[in-house]
Amino acid sequence: MTKTAQTTASHHDPRVHVDLRQLLRLAGPARRLSLLPRQPAQSVLNGRHASKLRGRGLNFEELRNYFAGDDIRTIDWKVTARTGEPHVRVYTEERDRPALLLVDQRMSMFFGSRVYMKSVIAAEAAALAAHRLLAQGDRVGGLVFGDDAIAEHRPVRSTAAVHRILASVADANTRLHAARAVPEPGSLSAALKSAGRIAKTNYLILVFSDFDGIDDQTERLLRSLAQHNDVLLFSVADPLADALPEGFRIAISDGELQAEINAADGTVRERIETVTRGRLAKLDHWTRKYGLPFLPLTTTKPALEQLSLLLGQTGRTR
């Protein structure tokens, strides 16, 4: 290991930045979670206010003569009328279902007033989902997006494919730095457009983001995706944005550089609170209007603990 690498390793704080090993270690704990259609009783996806996950699709296998005991609902009436003999259509359940993870690693995610950065919670939550989906036999793909690039991974059912996705997440996360200049912030809509090219029908799409910069285009893209796929919104937020104390000033740092936000300035404070309220109002509206399950994540607790509460646990792992 070079001196530079040793210095970097010694300063690595898993609450500020993630590395690939950190994300790979979540494979074991991920097995306690469930992303299957039949959800644990305590899962938020099992409630009447949230849409349940659809099952895997069916593949047409063959057309054959009707036998006593066959389900009459499978009779192909057109073929039966044409041949004069009853025929049924035989289907087999798909062995897997494609899943696509959208992981936000923009500079807006590089913030945390308590324990973790929002970018770290999104990265770890996405890693837990990727490991769990692979363990249940699904193909896993990902779109890891920052302010200047999107790393695209088509769904594949293999451990190596998941490792490639998580490597992209770790790489994008490592590039987040207080000194990094962002001339033009990246948009969630750009990632959703890419998702639309990949996920045509019966995908499970999981979005891990703070939903900064959402607009009418974002809504149209989410609505389009949700028409033929299951879409879950994991919204990562920091409690500081909910209510700024009077006269509040904060210094933020990534361990090397430091900047100060003066929320004691009424204009600054009002602007921050207005943006936060507007974003939450839009997410709530989309959830009600399109039935998009909304799963809130915070920077105050580990991602595993939060997902265990939101999705429920399937039992102990060995």
What does the pLDDT look like over 226-276, one tens digit per residue?
999 999 999 999 988 765 555 555 545 545 554 555 555 556 555 655 566
What does the pLDDT look like over 192-201, one tens digit per residue?
999 999 999 9
Task: Report the pLDDT averaged over residues 47-66.
Answer: 61
List of E strands, 69-126: 87-93, 98-104
d(CA 312, CA 25) in angstroms, rounded, equals: 20
| Residue burial 34-43, b: 16+ Cβ < 10 Å; e: rest | bbbeebbeeb
Phi, psi of 133, deg, nearest 5: -65, -40
Q: What percent of the chain has pLDDT over 70?
A: 74
Residue 313 has pLDDT above 80, yes or no: no
Structure tokens at 144: 């890891």
Q: What is the 3-state secondary structure (H, E, C) of 122-182?
A: HHHHHHHHHHHHHHCCCEEEEEEECCCCEEEEEEECCHHHHHHHHHHHHHHHHCCCCCCCC
Mean predicted lDDT score pLDDT of the chain? 82
Of the candidates 318, 316, 314, 293, the one whose C-alpha atom is nearest the C-alpha of residue 33 is 314
Contacts of 128 (CB under 8 A, 6+ apart): 26, 29, 30, 33, 303, 304, 307
d(CA 235, CA 212) in angstroms, rounded, equals: 10
Structure tokens at 94: 């798909």
CA-based angle 54:58:59, to the nearest 5?
150
